[in-house]
Amino acid sequence: MTRRAPAEPPAVKREPGQQRLRRWLLFVHQLPPTPSNLRVRTWRRLQQLGALPLKQAVYVLPESPAAREDFEWLTAEVKGVGGDANVFAAETVDSWSDDALVEEFRRTRQQAYAALAEELERAVAKPARRRRGAAGPKPAAGRLVESFRQRLAALEQIDFFGSAGRDRVVSLLQKLEERSVTGSRRATDTHAEEPPRTDYSGRLWVTRPRPGVDRMGSAWLIRRFIDPAARFAFAPDRESLPSPDAVPFDMFGVEFSHRGGACTFETLCADFAIEDAAVTRIAAIVHDLDLKDDRFGPVEAGTVAAVIEGLQMSTGDDGQLLERGILLFESLYVSFARAARPAGPRRVARPRSAAAKAASTARRRPR
């Protein structure tokens, strides 16, 4: 069933020069006594949405189409188990001013960033003692990095007002990642110098037929970061290249292919010094799907694998299949890059009084 987007709220009338009022969405609900875990389940869902508890059974989010849709789905879930729920839009919320609500949202996200940073600090310190002298990263280390990355991404999604503390988390995550990803690339890099990029402009890049995850991802990486005018063709092996000037990749015995414990995508990243947070996330997906060693454990891997399998089954032409794969990885990159917000100073939320802290703690407990 197609859901209609909610109608835009009417514009708030104001005098010339008057500051525009912020609009808020209120979720008011009443839950039945059974099932017994319903209250905790609903409370956790509201936490995931980033909703702020104002009083018992009343939560608030800054108004947006996404927030309205989330609340509407939750309303349907509550009513589906015999409860009652409603969503209201408002310019004012009880005795809260706009500034006070914004500060409360910032404070809550700031505390979450601080808690995540503490966990990262312990993780950064522990491998340094345990893995001293190790030849390469353990699969568990890659999964740990991915787990923290996913938690940071989820927190960023509900950080509506740019709370302080994110940059510290990003810095610690980068330190942890250097030990599990960058170290692996350096260990598998056998070249003393990077190949000059000017040698790879407007070239014909050739790979094996019926491209899969590594060839699709590598082709996207080549066109996005190495050779924007790249053309692609297919050959069964390096002896069958259509031109002496063609650049083979992801073939046996060629320069740009698997190297050590790295897939072709990772080899290209190392050789062309491509350092980008979104690319690193994509590299984890390509590595795990191509080498099947479960080193990084990215949560998106299963979905990407299913999409690529569907593309292979529905597309007979190899050139068209590769282009559709490139579009898939470009979409992933845009999504990941958007989540990785630029670093910069963020406003620190003002401390609250002891009475306000006690009231907030009471509001957050599920009843």
Q: pTM to 2 decimals?
A: 0.58
Q: Name the residue among 314, 323, 319, 268 with its Cα closest to residue 290.
A: 268
Residue closest to 277 by CA, chosen among 342, 197, 326: 342
pLDDT at site 223: 97
Report the distance separating Cα 325 and Cα 212, nearest Å: 8
CA-nearest of 294, 300, 286 to 335 is: 300
Edge-to-edge strands of the sheet including 58-62?
A: 52-55, 58-62, 24-30, 84-90
Q: Would the pLDDT of 195 be above 60? A: no
What confidence score (pLDDT) does residue 87 get?
95
Q: Residues 151-184: pLDDT tens digits?
A: 888 898 899 998 999 889 988 888 887 766 544 4
pLDDT at residue 346 in the model: 62
Q: How confident is the model at residue 18 (pLDDT cuts 50, 70, 90)?
A: very low
Separation of alpha carbons 279 and 261, rounded Å: 18
Strand bridging mode 231-234 / 247-248:
unpaired
122-152 pLDDT tens trace: 988 875 444 444 444 455 677 788 888 888 8
Can you give the length of the chain in residues? 367
Choosing among 3.40.50.2300, 3.40.50.300, 3.30.70.240, 3.30.2130.30, the CATH entry for 24-96 is: 3.30.70.240
Q: In this predicted model, what pLDDT tens digit does every residue of 45-89 receive, in sequence order?
A: 999 999 999 988 999 999 999 899 999 999 999 999 899 999 999
Tokens at 292, concatenated: 């099947």
Q: Quick one: average pLDDT of 221-243?
A: 95
DSSP 262: B
User: CA torsion sign, 64 to 69 to 74 to 79?
Assistant: positive
Q: Which of 212, 188, 192 lies closest to 261 in space, CA to CA? A: 188
CB 212 within 8 A of CB 174: no
Closest CA to 217 of 332, 350, 97: 332
The radius of gyration computed from the CA coordinates of the chain, to the nearest angstrom, equals: 25
For 179-191, what is the mean pLDDT? 51
Hey, how many other C-beta atoms are within 10 angstroms of the C-beta on 235?
Answer: 16
For tokens 């990355």, the residue is 149
Residue range 86-112: average pLDDT? 91
Where are the CATH 3.30.70.240 domain residues in the chain?
24-96
Q: How far apart are CA 168 and CA 182, in angstroms?
A: 20
Average predicted confidence (pLDDT) for the chain? 82
